[in-house]
Amino acid sequence: MYSSSIPIRSDFLIAPGSLDSYIRLGLLPNVKTRSIRLLSRRQRSPRASLCSDPLLVQAARGNAISRPPAWMMRQAGRYMDAYKKLAKKHPSFRERSETVDLIVEISLQPWKAFQPDGVIIFSDILTPLPAFGVPFDIEEVKGPIIHSPICDEEALKCLHPIDLEKLQFVGESLSILREEVGEKAAVLGFVGAPWTIATYVVEGGSTRTYTTIKRMCHTAPRVLKVLLSHLTQAISDYVIFQVKSGAQCIQIFDSWGGQLPPNIWEQWSKPYIEQIVSLVRKECPQIPLVLYINGNGGLLERMTGIGVDVIGLDWTVDMADGRRRLGYNVNVQGNVDPAYLFSPLPVLTDEIHRVVRCAGGRGHILNLGHGVLMNTPEEAVAHFFDVVRGLSYDTLFEDGVTAQELEPLKL
């Protein structure tokens, strides 16, 4: 495992009353254009938790803990030398993501190298499609290919209830990961949101414009509603299956929800995610649910009523601003720009500290604002996790002022 000798920067321990430091951290606007006042300080509760759940699960529930837990989207995969060597022996992505031994090995590669607080199963949001009637292939250049897109009522006839027997490789892999990791980290499962999955099913694969499915909202709304409803039930069943197999936290990726105007997202994506949350809560009431939407800056306020435990922020949303917009009773995840992993390590350290300070001392899971990029230096990934393991909320907030205690004055 990589280690770093770079110390935590002391200039991030802000002295009370230092407005310049708050501005530099991004917690406040320039005082020339906006004034702030400090609210009364609350008595801090002890940071140590007696809960035996992994740190990430505790953070997702909003428990008081000693530091923010951290993991990375796409932390297992193509930037790691170990993965590249394995991929040469097993060039098919479907084989790597649908064979138990390979899934477990790849999922554990970053765990063994960097010791993140979350171990996410190596899989794909499209993995469950064949189990409910939508076969697909993955081509090296084009990516996922669905040869029979669903765009009309006739095509809907191929759909059937999800056959979880066809996904036993996922369940078995989660069970093994849970045994391997124990309580040292949380095992994460994940699914795609109905709208995001529907973009592939309707468009026949990846797209940059989403014109076919967006047109369907107006030209074939009944077909689209039936498709989304079917996907909602299948995905809900798949989430419950993952939890019963060993997943301790589930992330819902509405990766392409941010491609919709906010009012259209509220009509064609949000209700179906709400249904998933409701169905999962009935079967697995204690499981933390995380919702991530790429490009969610225009959707934050609309995301708060869905019922998930954690809302992920991408790197285009300032963490302090996101906290204010969501409200401090909402737990958050994110949101270091993945490009910071290509920066000098002291710069990466500073950005981690800034994000953590802006997120406040509770209810935050540190992550990137999107997945790890190709060619990311493994040394930087190691440094990311080394830094967060060295953090302490009691030290970062020793002045007693937390992000939620800063409130803009109305001018």
- Give the pLDDT score at 38: 28
State pLDDT tens for residues 299-315: 999 999 899 999 999 99
pLDDT over threshold 90, residue 36: no
pLDDT over threshold 50, residue 184: yes
Confidence of residue 401 (pLDDT cuts 50, 70, 90): low
Q: Write the CB contacts of 62 (distance below 8 Å, at least 6 apart in sequence).
A: 309, 329, 331, 362, 363
Q: How many CA atoms lie within 13 A of 379 on its CB side?
A: 8
Summarize the confidence of residues 146-175 as an average pLDDT.
97
Lowest mean pLDDT of 1-5, 302-306, 329-333, name the range. 1-5
State pLDDT tens for residues 82-102: 999 999 999 999 999 999 999
Q: Is the backbone of residue 375 left (phi > 0), alpha (psi -120 to 50) or beta?
A: left
State pLDDT tens for residues 244-265: 999 999 999 999 999 999 999 9
Pairing verdict, β 406-408 and 36-38? antiparallel
Q: Does 329 sit behind a cis peptide bond, omega within 30 degrees of 0 on the bond before it?
A: no
Lowest mean pLDDT of 125-129, 136-140, 200-204, 216-220, name the range. 136-140
pTM for the full predicted model = 0.86
Q: What is the mean pLDDT of the chain?
A: 88
Is residue 341 helix, strand or coil? helix
Four-point Cα dihedral 306, 178, 93, 269, nearest 10: -10
Cα–Cα distance for residue pair 373/75, rounded to 1 Å: 9
pLDDT over threshold 80, residue 404: no
- Give the pLDDT score at 298: 93
Cβ atoms within 10 Å, residue 158: 12
pLDDT over threshold 70, residue 411: no
